[in-house]
Structure 1
């Protein structure tokens, strides 16, 4: 335990160090933009490439532009600068006064020459200092080019808009690593606690870690919506895309591109052409006048998709390309672009990441099994350490793989459905069908098995917890579905899966209908919050509060998404402020939940009796579990529990999948006799009763004294709580709360 404690201290120290990376580092002050968007129909000036950078220390602007002009006239620039939808500065610029070549007068033709220009120090002082430091500042510059001569004199001949960035962002590698490592350590800690026999503590840690991981995925899904999002929301949600498997690994991206091309697909090349083509990341939902609003179809007859109003042109492998050469990305493609992944590779990225985790988990479990056996033979550890894991490690491995499948259910479902709309290649569509069927059939079949087992337990023992927690094979293999819930709410995994499927359908198929997405997500999250608050299905008050808080924040996020659609026609500044509020709310919630998880897990490992820190469940699950260390401080009741169940130390349960559905009386193992009971004495019995039980067992330890198997539909009354009486016990004497919970009273 000492080595375990020291290792946990090191891991926790690493986690807290990673939190320090969340703070943005000091960098050179700058303002820059990477695209110049047209904001007017029939604009006489369009740019396929526009990179502008202003560095205050050098007091100069560097511009790299590739544009086409059809304007032949003297012009003036009407410039408006705004932040978070509030216009705070405007000015009129005469290019002739600044002696800008090609703009005085403007002439038709191509403009491809980079240039630099000095800025008046007095003008530079107009920029507030916060503009260089506030992360993901939502600022833009809109320029109207007004003709002052010729037939278009007095009219606007072009409109250009540039989104401004200062290089500071909340999309930080530190946030990604900190959140991923803490969640991973918590899941690994729960597995370690379970192997050490502290099942009560392990189930609490696992339930908290799974809830936090689902919250990370919910934040990542916010970034996948086709709704225009403020920059800070885009960056914050990008921090959690790892939870959906969207991770950029260079050599894997090359493999995905090769695979797509080799199976008849055409890979996108947005990332490769950034040096020559600008990419507009859809941010605002304000309509931009355009004469090119229309529907487009992909070459492979993809379903029609409605595009932003300034995106007239054609669709290339799912990427919107304007008629003046720039690309527009939004929704799922926006997430891929910000992650540095080609938009046609995002499906394979998520799927492969999911299965890489499964393979590594299987390898680690196998290595741990081998290490334990080697250590036991060399007597480095006690012979009974991790004994149940060593005997039933295959069943444990199946349970771990099922748990990973549950964690990856949302990303696999979303990306598979999304692939049906993209059709990147015939082979990828086939993979989408396979993986979609695999995760759904696997999890819903497992849920069906769970419900059958619970119904059998209720029919035989009037308590679903009896078989669900007394059978080690059922607990190890299917426990991931129900252990986080109270026993009477074992069915709640089905609503959870349905909730995930509904969200996946709207995220994948409504990318072009932001209002539909927002309203659907609002209703789904409202239903989830009501169900969580009313049913409170999780195992105890703390876990219920933890999950209800997550559901409440998800519901608030859905309200914010509805605001971002501008369905309320609110001022632009309201949209900008709401984006900042969403970031602050979710950042605070994430930090609090992470700290709760870290502190609670650390306390568990630094406690002599981890199970004693948590109250036993009201559903008596600990009374049914096999060989629980919490039944007595020194474990003197473990032998009694083994004898009462008819087990022998060193052997597995010998149960197959179907045997969990049989009455316990008819189960046989190669090394045990038929038994009518499969329980141990609960810790709730008084000390005197416990002492008497142990003494009597020493005198009469034979399990032959138990009654024969009960007949169909009949519950025997042949044993007291000590498990050694052979005559019927009147109902009035059957005072054990464990027996009442298991259904032994008539």
Structure 2
């Protein structure tokens, strides 16, 4: 049993030790906010603030409250870490010398002070408790009356200031996405609009899709380990959630004017008055050795402690006491704000849950504005270039089609965000409080769906017409006009699987509907996600639709990790009753696996960049091969009457019979030549037949009429009587057109 407990203790710590955690706070353990864990309590706690500084070994505490009746109470201190109760201590104020609290008066009271913890107790607090990210500890104090009845209950979370929700991770992910976008753009420029040219994997869409999957994994209504909840929040930017205080304040003002309630759902409330508490319930035995520190807090309570009752303060410690008028406790008075699901994910970024859709909408509008300005700027530059010089042919096409490229870029943005847009719109319908925000959600979701449906219909019509003409839809990849307009939907798929973009759109839509529609029901969300992800994995394994092998295996591997991630999230479902130790270990394993895949995508991007710099551009090589094949095909199709026949082309080089060198054509004067070498002269014959013989025929003068009937008849008759064996031919003579007596050939 001890061995098993040791394994459960060391395994989470070993996994946490390999994570790149930055130091975000000092060597301090402190409570963060408080909340009541009992209804109708006769003792109300108004403030609870406890902190311990490892460097100075000083524990500082501040407690304040009110009591309705005079009563003797006993405090029961319960310390838990990662969902497991690790320490219990019962304290009687009468036994610690706090006479002012024995009994508790029917008045307001407060106790505050600071104590130095002896080294023998401070050394028992493990160092990892001050450095482990997102330490989930809980301190609960139950007050019981003389008869054992509960009179009050208050609890507060304990943390160390270290977290995996750090800007460095978000910046690294954003950098990977930016590099993927740059490489995808360069690949498109290198292709030069060449039909059928695909983008090397991982593409920008694949990288953003992976980051969106990580973010959506953190939105389910399950009991996540806090460390995993913080990790997934680093990828919120991929879904459009960007923490921006000024933007949130503007959205709050918009909601207030359109029916919104800002009392406990606003940026000001989250940033000033609330402490988020998640339903994680994880376990870790590292806090077990902290119980001595809490013991020490009460053992030394008589030293340096001040108790205030109705404004009258008494110092307790070393037997000295005095009465002075002081103010009540003024420590941290933030209330714990319990959240889960999409609300927990957004509000940990200080984005109120009712502001999520409007945040995404405004971020999308800003990105659209940047795209429009960028494309119009390029248009202006190209127009100025064309006025003072000649722009490249590839850029000429870009200049003429800039409106279509602008529409294509915005459509691509809609396609990238469609899944998360569906999620936020449905969440706005069910949890939003502003009628204007709900209207905008409905209009934009309908508009985006209509845009994707229009392109789907156009591509389907094109494919159907191509199938009727050619038997397949290959022209979607071969026709340049069609390729430039619609290729963003199917450019990376094989010709036989061009239609796979339709299941991909449905896949994104289904994910958003399941997460937002079943918000608050973790088991339903997780089961629905598992079905959707498994169906998509099965489709990819069955079709393997991507043109490049790298695209096939990268996308299959990403989908496998998505399915495994959802299976692991099943462990976090509260209804299944999995132990908290298992949940903690599972969360850490998920972080490691997902970090490895993210790093792998970054490495593949670097490898693709290196390969593209070294080897010849495949699109240029394909164009050269296609041009060569076309030329060979044209030459093979020549016929004697074809206009491309060599008889009407420039004469080929002549070969000298006495050497191997090739010479140009012989230039002869009329009537046998035109001084340009187009026709070779007939060499003089050594034995010409006598005039009037049957082998002779008269050649008309250059002034003979071309419509002379007698000449035509006699010329034709004499041609028919020629003996081919009696005519001497030059070995270097090229074929010439027959002379029919129409004068000099032109």
* TM-score for both structures, normalised by structure 1: 0.70
- What residue number does 1:364 align with? 374
User: In structure 2, what is the equivalent of residue 609 of structure 1?
Assistant: 616
Shift of 1:362: 1.8
Cα distance change on mapping 1:264 and 1:598 into 2, 3 Å: same
Counting only pairs closer than 5 Å after superposition, residues 400-439 of structure 1 correspond to structure 2 as: 400-439=409-448
The whole-number CA distance in structure 1 between the counterparts of 2:469 and 2:138 is: 69
Aligned to 1:557: 565
Distance in 1 (alpha carbons) for counterparts of 2:457 and 2:378: 31
Matched-pair contact (CA < 8 Å) for 1:536–1:544: yes
Residue 93 of structure 2 corresponds to residue 84 of structure 1:
no
State how far apart, in whole Å, the 1-side matches of 2:42 and 2:572 are. Answer: 31
Structure 1 residue 70 displacement after superposition: 5.4
Match for residue 630 of structure 1? 621
Offset at residue 542 of structure 1 (A): 1.3
* Whole-angstrom CA distance in 1 between matches of 2:610 and 2:45: 56
CA distance in 1, matches of 2:68, 2:46: 15
**Residue pairs, 1:57-72, within 5 angstroms:** 57-63=55-61, 67-69=65-67
| CA distance 1:171–1:497, change in 2 (3 Å) | same
State how far apart, in whole Å, the 2-side matches of 1:35 and 1:578 are: 28
Q: Report what 1:649 is aligned to.
A: none
Distance 2:49 2:611 in 1: 52
Shift of 1:483: 0.9
Say whether the 8 Å CA contact 1:271–1:340 is kept in structure 2.
yes
Q: Which residue of 2 aligns with 1:489?
A: 497
Q: 1:690 to 1:131 in 2, by over 3 A?
A: farther
Alignment of 1:459-474 (within 5 A): 459-466=468-475, 468-474=476-482
Separation in 2, partners of 1:503, 1:213 = 15
Instruction: Give 1:203 deviation, angstroms.
Output: 3.0
> For the residues of structure 1 that align with 2:599 and 2:202, how far apart are their CA atoms?
18
Shifted more, 454-463 versus 266-275: the winner is 266-275
Q: Is the 1:186–1:209 Cα contact (8 Å) retained in structure 2?
A: yes
What residue is the counterpart of 1:55 in the other structure?
53
Instruction: Please list, as runs of the form range in 1=range in 2, the aligned pairs for 1:319-718 lying within 5 A after superposition.
Output: 326-379=336-389, 383-466=392-475, 468-604=476-612, 606-607=613-614, 609-611=616-618, 628-631=619-622, 635=624, 681=627, 689=632
1:250 aligns with 2:250: no
Cα distance change on mapping 1:100 and 1:560 into 2, 3 Å: farther
- Give the secondary structure class of the aligned counterpart of 1:204: coil
Match of 2:120 in 1: 122
**Over aligned residues, Cα RMSD in angstroms?**
3.3
Q: 1:38 to 1:258 in 2, by over 3 A?
A: closer
- 1:261 and 2:252 matched: no
Q: Judge conservation of contact 1:457–1:465 (CA < 8 Å) in 2.
A: yes
The separation in 1 between residues aligned to 2:271 and 2:535, in whole angstroms, is: 46
Match of 2:13 in 1: none
Inter-partner Cα distance in structure 1 for 2:520 and 2:191: 51
- CA offsets per residue over residues 330-374 of structure 1, 9 Å max, x none? 222212221122332221001111222122112112212322343
Q: Give the CA deviation at 1:502.
A: 1.7
Q: CA deviation at 1:403?
A: 0.6
Deviations 1:508-558 (A, max 9, x none): 122221221122112222222222222222222211211111111111221
Q: Counterpart of 2:155 in 1: which secondary structure?
A: strand
CA contact (8 A) 1:51 1:65 kept: yes
CA contact (8 A) 2:252 2:267 kept: no
Alpha carbons of structure 1 residues 128 and 258: separation in structure 2 relative to 1, 3 Å: same
Q: CA 1:383–1:514 in structure 2 vs 1: closer, same or farther (change >3 Å)?
A: closer
2-structure distance, mates of 1:608, 1:59: 63
Secondary structure at 1:127's aligned position in 2? coil
Q: 1:474 to 1:85 in 2, by over 3 A?
A: same
Whole-Å Cα distance in 1 between the matches of residues 598 and 98 of structure 2? 50
1:177 is the counterpart of 2:163: no
Indicate if the aligned counterparts of 1:44 and 1:70 stay in contact, CA closer than 8 A: yes
Larger mean Cα displacement after TM superposition, 214-223 or 156-165: 156-165
**Unaligned runs of at least 5 residues, structure 2:** 1-18, 283-333, 646-746
Q: Could you list the per-position Cα deviations for residues 107-133 of structure 1 after superposition, in whole angstroms to 9, with x for gaps in the alignment?
A: 455456765444343332222111111
- Tell me the alpha carbon deviations over residues 121-171 of structure 1, each in whole angstroms, 9 at most, x when there is no partner: 333222211111121223333444444xx233xx55444433322111111
SS of the aligned residue for 1:196 comes to: helix
Gaps of 5+ in 1: 1-20, 287-323, 612-627, 638-679, 703-746
Q: Secondary structure at the match of 1:526?
A: helix
Aligned to 1:714: none
Tell me the SS of whatever aligns to 1:226.
coil
Tell me the distance in 2 between the aligned counterparts of 1:693 and 1:77.
100
- Alpha-carbon distance, 1:25 to partner: 3.8
Q: Secondary structure at the match of 2:191?
A: coil
User: Partners of 1:70 and 1:559 in 2: how far apart?
Assistant: 50
Instruction: Specify the alignment match of 1:211 in structure 2.
Output: 206
Q: Deviations over 1:422-469 (max 9, x none)?
A: 232111111011011011111122122222222222222223232x12
Q: Measure the CA separation in 1 of the matches of 2:272 and 2:610.
A: 51
TM-score for the superposition, normalised by structure 2 = 0.70
Query: Is residue 179–residue 594 contact of structure 1 (8 Å, CA) maintained in 2?
Result: no
User: Radius of gyration: which is bigger?
Assistant: 2
**Secondary structure of residue in 2 paired with 1:459:** helix
What is the aligned partner in structure 2 of residue 321 from structure 1?
none
Instruction: Report if aligned partners of 1:350, 1:411 keep a CA contact under 8 Å in 2.
Output: no
When residues 134 and 390 of structure 1 are mapped into structure 2, their CA distance, relative to the original with a 3 A threshold, is same
Q: Give the Cα separation in 2 of the matches to 1:561 and 1:326.
A: 25
Deviation, 1:328, is 2.3
Asked if the contact 2:197–2:491 (Cα under 8 Å) also holds between the matched residues in 1, the reply is no
